[in-house]
Amino acid sequence: MPDPLEQALSRAREARERGQEAEAERLYSEAAGLAGAADDRMARAFALRHLADLARGRGDLGLALASARQAVSLYRAAPDRLALANALRQEALALEGSNGSGGAAQAWAEARSLYAALDVAAGVAECDQHLARPDAPPA
Contact 77, 41 (CB under 8 A): yes
Note the pTM of the prediction, 2 decimals. 0.91
Q: How many Cα atoms within 13 Å fall on the side-chain side of residue 4?
A: 10
Would you write out the chain's pLDDT as a tens digit for each of its 139 residues?
Answer: 569 999 999 999 999 999 999 999 999 999 999 999 999 999 999 999 999 999 999 999 999 999 999 999 999 999 999 999 999 999 999 999 887 666 899 999 999 999 999 999 999 999 999 999 866 655 5
Q: Is 57 left (phi over 0), alpha (psi -120 to 50) or beta?
A: alpha
The highest-level CATH class for domain 4-131 is mainly alpha
